[in-house]
């Protein structure tokens, strides 16, 4: 009987020596974060939405109505300054081949040729802002010189291509894309 008690005691002690698996995490679960009032996905989305400024709408001659030609040139300078703010992002995306200078004078997305990491939302925002600025600029130039936009665009593009970053993606002919040589 003593042997039986010794065996049972030994078995009980061996069973008690097994350490339970405990996992300690340093972050709360998503449910705990939401219960505490934190919504990181929504907060991030809200922050991104607040960081996407849009260009001023230019409706007809509303911005230049009643101004003399010297003041119209000031409006033209304003548009150049606004587009200069995105110039670094445009140059970077042109070099990454994520966007290209199209024959129309507008920037075009080239996601299949993009080299490196580029945020699709950022690319879309930059393209939208820059193309809007270009359309506004063409409208302003056309109104100031009493020309059609169709006559202003090719001249503007020819002058603009001189300022495009070396190696940036440019459409040479319909559907033919390549880096700008310097």
- Interior/surface letters 106-137, b for 16+ CB within 10 angstroms, e for the rest: bbebbeeebeeebeeeebebbbebbbbbbbbb
Q: Which range has the worst mean pLDDT, 14-23, 61-70, 134-143, 156-165?
A: 61-70
Q: Which residue has the higher pLDDT, 21 or 12?
A: 21
Compute CA distances 126 → 55, 65, 88, 89, 91, whole Å.
11, 29, 10, 7, 11
109-127 confidence digits (pLDDT tens): 988 888 888 888 888 888 9
Mean pLDDT confidence for 46-69: 54
pLDDT of residue 108: 92
Average model confidence (pLDDT) across the chain:
77
% of the chain at pLDDT higher than 90: 12
pLDDT of residue 75: 64
Distance CA 91, CA 89 (A): 5
pLDDT at residue 80 is higher than 50: yes
% of the chain at pLDDT higher than 70: 64
pTM, rounded to two decimals: 0.55
pLDDT tier for residue 102 given thresholds of 50, 70 and 90: very high
pLDDT tier for residue 99 given thresholds of 50, 70 and 90: very high
């Amino acid at each position: 009987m003593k042997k039986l008690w010794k065996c049972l005691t030994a078995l009980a002690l061996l069973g008690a020596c097994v350490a339970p698996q405990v996992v300690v995490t340093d972050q709360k679960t998503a449910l705990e974060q939401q219960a505490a009032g934190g919504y990181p996905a929504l907060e991030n989305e809200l922050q991104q939405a607040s960081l996407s400024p849009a260009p001023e709408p230019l409706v007809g001659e509303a911005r230049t109505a009643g101004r003399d030609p010297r003041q119209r040139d000031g409006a033209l300078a304003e548009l150049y300054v606004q587009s200069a703010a995105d110039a670094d992002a445009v140059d970077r995306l042109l070099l990454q081949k994520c966007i290209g200078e199209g024959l129309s004078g507008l920037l075009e997305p080239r996601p299949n040729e993009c080299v490196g990491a580029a945020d699709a939302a950022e690319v879309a925002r930059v393209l939208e802002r820059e193309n809007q600025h270009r359309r506004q600029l063409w409208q302003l130039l056309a109104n100031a010189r009493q020309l059609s936009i169709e006559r202003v665009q090719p001249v503007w593009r020819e002058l603009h291509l001189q300022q495009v970053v070396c190696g940036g993606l440019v459409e040479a002919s319909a559907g033919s894309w390549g880096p700008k040589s310097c």
